[in-house]
Amino acid sequence: MLFEKIKMKKLFRNKPAFCALILISIIVITAVFAPFIATHDPSAQDLPRRLSAPSAAHLLGTDDLGRDVFSRTVYGARVSISVGFFAVLITLFIGVILGMVSGYFGGWVDSVIMRFTDIMLCFPTFFLILIVIAFFEPSIINVMVVIGITSWTGLARIVRAEVLSIREREFVLASKMLAVSKTRLLFAHILPNAVSPIIVYAAIGMSAAVLTESGLSFLGLGAQPPMSSWGQILMQGKDYIYVAWWLSLFPGIMILLTVLSFNMIGEALRDILDPKDSKI
């Protein structure tokens, strides 16, 4: 417990990571309490006031159908955060299980899983996602699932490598001698010891997922109207960049901040969780 506390302290002492943590908290709170924070109904159209500049009535201006950009950005946070969260959840589920099974059992199981991982790695993820979305209807659920099932490969390899070394340790041998079941051994004994790289991967995976979702929505394959997402507002803004800068700027900043924050937290966690770093 003391150990955890010291780690948390280190995280807070790392200024960029601390700022990132605050930013992420704000964005998550925004996403959760979107209906209370938004000043307008995000899909309410007000055509006479379309493309009006930021003002007191519309904090970040309006889009091409007169919808409030601030409210749409707030609701967009929901899409980005939930896509990031669920995509990473799926990634973790697949990556951790395949990695552990592969690392622990070794032999032909390992070969089969790792060759399959190699095959998956051959395809550029973004194009794989494009193909899958083209086959199914574009929807935000599909985006989550597809990002999840295409980005587990790196994690599976990391987990496998960790497990390979952990399974040789004495406590594993001890557990085996006590006839602990394989599932229990894997999940209760080995997994907790391999958790640091997984946490780091998850944090960085969040940022990748948010970025991928924005990219897909920018191409019109993510969130479908009238739902709003940052990538989608950005795409709208592209057509009006010469008259309505606010349409591209604010969602762009939000994507930047979110991705940057997750990356910084990931970096900081990596430093802190590094066992070679002896300074406590």
Partner 1 sequence: MKNKLIPFLFLFFAACSSGVTDKKHESPQYDGAPVYGDAFITAIASDASFLNPILASDTPSGAVNAMLFNGLLKYDENLNIACDLAESFEVSQDGLVITFRLKRNVKWHDGKPFTAKDVKFTYDILVDTNTKTPYSSSFMLVKELEIVDDYTVKAHYEQPFAPNLESWGMSIIAEHVFRGTNFNDAPANRKPVGTGPYKFESWQTDQKIVLKANPDYFEGKPYLSKYIIRIVPDSSVQFLELRNESLDSVDLTPDQWNAYDSFFKSYDKYRQATFSFTFLGFNRLRKPFDNKDFMKAVELAINKKDIIDGVLLGTGIEINGIYPPQSWAYKEIPKSEYDPKKALDILKSIGFLDIDNDGYLEYNGKPFDFTITTNQGNKQRELSAEIIQQHLKKIGINVNIRIIEFSTFINQYIAKREFDAVIIGWSTTLDPDQYSLWHSGQTAPRQYNFLSYNNPKIDKLLEQARTTFDMGKRKKMYHEIQDIMYEDPPCIFLYFPDSLSALHKRFRDVKDFPIGVGYNFIEWWTPRAEVKYSFQE
Given the rule CB under 8 A, which residues bind partner 1? 43, 45, 47-48, 50-51, 64-66, 137, 220, 224-226, 238-243
Is residue 263 within 8 A of residue 255, CB to CB? The reply is no
- Residue 273 to residue 92: CA distance in whole angstroms: 18
Task: Considering the complex, state which of residue 106 and residue 138 has its C-beta at the smaller distance from partner 1.
Answer: 138
Task: Considering the complex, state which of residue 29 and residue 44 has its C-beta at the smaller distance from partner 1.
Answer: 44
Q: State the nearest-atom distance from the C-beta of 40 to partner 1, in Å.
A: 14
Q: State the nearest-atom distance from the C-beta of 63 to partner 1, in Å.
A: 10
Q: State the nearest-atom distance from the C-beta of 279 to partner 1, in Å.
A: 52
Which amino acid is residue 164, in one-letter code? L
| Peptide bond just before 138 cis, omega within 30 deg | no
Q: State the nearest-atom distance from the C-beta of 174 to partner 1, in Å.
A: 58
- Residue 69 to residue 61: CA distance in whole angstroms: 6
Task: Considering the complex, state which of residue 192 and residue 220 has its C-beta at the smaller distance from partner 1.
Answer: 220
Q: State the nearest-atom distance from the C-beta of 41 to partner 1, in Å.
A: 10
- Residue 255 to residue 206: CA distance in whole angstroms: 12
Is residue 250 within 8 A of residue 73, CB to CB? The reply is yes
- Tokens standing for 233? 């507002």
Task: Considering the complex, state which of residue 29 and residue 131 has its C-beta at the smaller distance from partner 1.
Answer: 131
Q: State the nearest-atom distance from the C-beta of 36 to partner 1, in Å.
A: 21
**Which residues sit opposite 62 in a β-bridge?**
68
Secondary structure of 38-62 in HEC code, one letter for each residue: CCCCCCCCCHHHCCCCCCCCCCCCE
Dump strand ranges (E) for the chain: none
Which amino acid is residue 210, in one-letter code? V
Residue 57: how many CB atoms within 10 A of its CB?
13
Task: Considering the complex, state which of residue 236 and residue 261 has its C-beta at the smaller distance from partner 1.
Answer: 236
Task: Considering the complex, state which of residue 41 and residue 118 has its C-beta at the smaller distance from partner 1.
Answer: 41
